[in-house]
Amino acid sequence: MPAPRPLFAVLSGLLLGLIALTVAAAYASLLFQGKAAPYAGVGFSILLVGTAIGAALVARLSHQAGLVTGPDEASTIALASLVGSQLAAYPALSAEASALTVALMMALSGLLSGALFWLVGRFHLGRLVRYLPSPVVSGFLGGTGLLLLLAGLGLAAGVDGVSLAAPERWLALLEKPAQLACAVLLGLWLVFGGGRFGGRFFLPLSLLLAGGVFVLGAALGPWPLAQLQTAGWLYLPPVGGGGASGVLLGQLASVDWALLSGSLPGLLLVALIALLVMLLQLSALEQALKHDVEHDLELVAQGQANLLGGLFGSLPMVPFIGDTRLNIELAGPNRIAAVVVALVCLAGVFVGDVLMAWLPVFLLSGLLLYFGASLLGDAVSRARAASHGSDRAIIVTVLLAVNLLGIMEAALLGVCVTAVLFLLDYSRLDVVRQRYNARNAPSRISRPHAQRALLDDRPDWLAVYVLEGYLFFGGVQRLYDRIKAEHAADGPQVLLFDLKHVQGMDATALAVFERLAERMQGVGGLMLVSSARPQLERRLRPLSELGVVLATDLDSAVEQAERRMLAGMAANYGDWACAFAPLLAELAPYLETLQLRQNEALIRQDGSAPGLCFIKEGSVSVRLFVSGQHSLRLRRFVRGTVLGEISVYTGGSASATVYADEDTQVSYLTVAAIARLEQDNLPLALRLHRTVAAVMAERLQESNRSLQQATA
């Protein structure tokens, strides 16, 4: 970053002050049209005072030295559109009342913008721009650019209300072809010449050259001043100065407050547009300066500047990125240039009548064309660069709606179209995160081989759907159709939905779950819902009347499903649960028996197992204690299973604690008993070791399957 150069800072301030004078004149001409046109000089003075206050205050309060602020073009054209529509609805207003109404609406827009900036910055919401739909923003700014462009054409030809919605007024532009041609040529030169010959002084020098050539030609030529004013090259003698301001202030008693109050929603929208531009400008400033900018601090500073400027009738003001870059490149980070801009604007107030009388109309309209074309061109380039056709459609739709329907209507339409397209895109996403059957469902229950074989023999008796996202009418209907298609012939006996990754659901999703519950109830099946968040569980609770079971987690839900199926199979297969019964009968001389009450520990974490344990009755759970307090259930062992084999064969300590889930009977072989068995009956010992090895291999397969599920 270059060091401040005071002399160059003064020069920079003079150049930027000249631009500020021209911009203020252009905006005054844009706002004070129709009956209010004779008071454009007053509007010019108001804007200069507001710009001076804003520039000086931002120079004092901003944390970014060199920042230059001024009236925003997007919110200005939005305000001009609002002013035109409101005044058209009150044709009986006098010229003075119309001009005063415009001035008051300017002040209110500045005050509302200042308050909004300050609140957003004060409550640290400066990054809100990240959450705005980019296509809507681009279309909105492009639409305001087209409004500015059309307003510039209308100003050049002296035609009010030129817009896409009023094509009949376009022919009136041809009544002053020379004036229109000069404005268009100047606008084209500023747009394309700036890209080719652009430099620090291109814009001010171009305006000086165009204005100077015209004034010199008018002074030396044979055309009287009155003729140039009548022909539309110069303004008619404006009503300006302190006397005109006094006339307007004298009309305060006759202000139509109903008109102003009816304008408040539109003025708030103008403030929101200014906030949007402000946030975008701050983001652009970061890119231009290549360092972070404190959004919230700058919003507070700009808010205070707008509040004070609004008291004097100023328009919403935002940072000017181009002017700021010119200032810093020319003079380094300084606060002098902004103060000089303020002084130039204040000086312009005292010579406002003279300036307005000699500023060529085509110069101001050419500047509006330049601003409008820049905004419109940026929107077109974003539309061409958009990767999705829907984004391009949103940009074009909002752009046209701004010009055909109105700014407020376009904002509402843009949000609605974006929401509808989002819902359509989101509804195409598959809400099923994972799909399981009985063979690959994530279960933490160790069962005897016979039980597991029966459960896995025809695995489609269980259908597990792990869902994700937000369940609403689009995605959940696709889920319902998928379930019907997958189970058209022979549906599952148990239907399980895991909602761990579901954030919420709408009424349609709830109705679909109800239809599925009725369907399962009709075929004598069971429907379970697991891992629902508290608010979702409250909404799903009434489904219990249809037999729906709400489980705390997927593990316990799968366990309930398996227990239900095994209960139905026991009548056909008898007492097959304890597959170790024959082996245990032969091992009886070496076995010891332990009776455990519910919640009594069989094995302690970091302790040792009593031996190779066979669950003869009841069940136990393996729990791992984290940080000494919170416990996590790793696995459950039911009747007919064995545990403790790792400690027996490795001689290590237990890595988790084993508790009895209920009154449980355990038979176990100590290490010493196994050694005696190997001495006394080697064939029986080999059968024991082979049986345990088969169990360990099966558990290794289950662990691998669980790992695959976790990484799927």
pLDDT over threshold 60, residue 8: yes
pLDDT band at 244 (very low <50, low <70, confident <90, very high): low
What count of other Cβ atoms lies within 10 Å of the Cβ of residue 690? Answer: 10
From CA 25, how far away is CA 234, in angstroms rounded?
Answer: 12
Picking from 245, 248, 247, 240, the residue whose alpha carbon sits closest to that of residue 352 is 240
- Say how many Å lie between the first and final Cα of the chain, rounded: 51
What is the share, in percent, of the chain residues with pLDDT greater than 70?
A: 89
The pair of structure tokens assigned to 333 is: 């980070």
- Average pLDDT score over residue span 169-181: 87
From CA 503, how far away is CA 521, in angstroms rounded?
Answer: 27
Least confident piece of the model among 4-8, 180-184, 456-460:
4-8
Among 67-81, 238-252, 574-588, the range of highest mean pLDDT: 67-81
Contact 698, 448 (CB under 8 A): no
Strand partners, 403: none
Cα atoms found within 13 Å of the Cα of residue 341, Cβ hemisphere only:
36
Query: Tens of pLDDT along 586-621?
Result: 999 999 999 999 999 998 888 888 999 999 889 999
Would residue 93 be called left, alpha or beta, if left means φ above 0 and alpha means ψ between -120 and 50 degrees?
Answer: beta
From CA 46, how far away is CA 99, in angstroms rounded?
Answer: 12
Query: Tens of pLDDT along 496-553?
Result: 999 999 999 988 889 999 999 998 998 889 999 999 999 999 999 999 999 999 999 8
pLDDT over threshold 90, residue 673: yes
From CA 142, how far away is CA 399, in angstroms rounded?
Answer: 6
Contact 346, 81 (CB under 8 A): no
Sheet of strand 664-669, all strands in order from the earlier edge strand to the far edge:
592-596, 664-669, 612-617, 642-643
From CA 59, how far away is CA 36, in angstroms rounded?
Answer: 33
Contact 523, 491 (CB under 8 A): yes
Contact 529, 540 (CB under 8 A): yes
Least confident piece of the model among 124-128, 217-221, 346-350:
124-128
Total residue length of the chain: 712
From CA 581, how far away is CA 587, in angstroms rounded?
Answer: 10
From CA 478, how far away is CA 169, in angstroms rounded?
Answer: 51
Contact 273, 406 (CB under 8 A): no
Q: What ranges make up the beta strands (E) of 190-229? A: none
What count of other Cβ atoms lies within 10 Å of the Cβ of residue 575? Answer: 9
From CA 245, how far away is CA 446, in angstroms rounded?
Answer: 91
Higher-confidence position of 599 and 242: 599
Higher-confidence position of 442 and 575: 442
SS3 content of the chain, % helix, strand, coil (to 5): 65, 10, 20
Q: Quote the pTM value.
A: 0.62
From CA 640, how far away is CA 628, in angstroms rounded?
Answer: 31
Listing DSSP states for 210-273 in one string gives HHHHHHHHHHHSS--HHHHHHTTSS------HHHHHHHHHTTGGG--HHHHHHHHHHHHHHHHH
From CA 514, how far away is CA 317, in angstroms rounded?
Answer: 55
Q: Specify the pLDDT at position 606.
A: 82
95-122 helix and 295-311 helix, angle to the nearest 10 degrees: 160
Least confident piece of the model among 81-85, 659-663, 702-706:
702-706
From CA 710, how far away is CA 286, in angstroms rounded?
Answer: 42
pLDDT band at 43 (very low <50, low <70, confident <90, very high): confident
From CA 204, how far away is CA 341, in angstroms rounded?
Answer: 14
Cα atoms found within 13 Å of the Cα of residue 120, Cβ hemisphere only:
25
Contact 39, 32 (CB under 8 A): yes
- Average pLDDT score over residue span 6-29: 85
Contact 49, 316 (CB under 8 A): no
Picking from 404, 394, 389, 395, the residue whose alpha carbon sits closest to that of residue 376 is 395
Q: Specify the pLDDT at position 243.
A: 47
Picking from 36, 49, 85, 33, the residue whose alpha carbon sits closest to that of residue 315 is 49
Computed over its alpha carbons, how large is the radius of gyration of the chain? 40
For 683, the 3-state DSSP assignment is helix
pLDDT over threshold 50, residue 296: yes
295-311 helix and 40-61 helix, angle to the nearest 10 degrees: 140
Least confident piece of the model among 112-121, 229-238, 388-397, 667-676:
229-238
The bridge status of strand 462-471 relative to strand 494-505 is parallel
Mean pLDDT of the chain: 83
From CA 162, how far away is CA 160, in angstroms rounded?
Answer: 6
Query: Tens of pLDDT along 262-290?
Result: 889 889 989 988 998 888 787 777 766 66
